[in-house]
Amino acid sequence: MAHAPATQPRDRREPGEVFGPGFTLFADMLLIGLLTALACLPVVTAPAAFAAASATLRQTAGDGLQIKVGTYMGHLRQLLTPRALAAGLLPPVLFVVLLVDVALVRGGMPGAQIMAPALALLTFGAAVVGLRATALEAPHQLSVREALVRSAGDLRGALLLGAAALLAVLIAWSTPLMIPLLPGPLAFAATVVDLRRQPDAQQSRPRQPHPRES
């Protein structure tokens, strides 16, 4: 008598698949978005919150298990270091500087036509580098220098992240109620952009000669 083929557990995914099909995608995006938004409430914890979201997504892509609250909280506890909290001071400082510059531009400061586009590019550039830094795998997590190097070496990925940040701003402006859910798609975009770079990096490594060939 032939045995029925064993079915794959419903809480698992195909190897390398960040999200499962159907409503699993929607549920995971909601969960990651809400957890990250809650973890960002103290402001200085924002880099660690996004890095925990990226680490959770990386683990999900590796083992195929669904995203769970405990998994995210475990990564968040590991990433709440003094260095991460110090990095959390940069976004508020940049935001204040941006507000001051915008006020000067609106006040009729000479060169405002040049300053306004420059401020917009600076803001989105900082957002891209910041998202890239939070999506780096260990031991490069939250490294601005490594994020700058990868952004410069992957302009297509930088443009994709810039588009994701711009879309998030437009959604926040048009529908403020969606703001608590936006960290999920942003963390997902940053993680996917960094994951898509890894095959290229592996192919560019020089092949090590086999012992028999030496």
Q: What is the mean pLDDT of the chain?
A: 79
Q: Tell me the C-alpha distance between 56 and 78, whole Å.
A: 12
Q: Tell me the C-alpha distance between 94 and 47, whole Å.
A: 14
Q: Tell me the C-alpha distance between 172 and 183, whole Å.
A: 11
Inform me whether the pLDDT recorded for 64 exceeds 80: no
Kindly report, residue by residue over 151-165, the tens digit of the pLDDT: 888 889 899 999 999
Segment 8-23 shows an average pLDDT of 50
Buried b (16+ CB within 10 A) or exposed e, 156-190: ebbebbbebbeebeeeeeeeeeeebbbbbbbbbbb
Q: Tell me the C-alpha distance between 123 and 138, whole Å.
A: 26
Inform me whether the pLDDT recorded for 200 exceeds 70: no
Inform me whether the pLDDT recorded for 212 exceeds 80: no
pLDDT of residue 45: 93
- DSSP character at residue 208: P
Inform me whether the pLDDT recorded for 6 exceeds 80: no
Segment 96-103 shows an average pLDDT of 76
pLDDT of residue 68: 86
Segment 14-43 shows an average pLDDT of 74
pLDDT of residue 12: 53
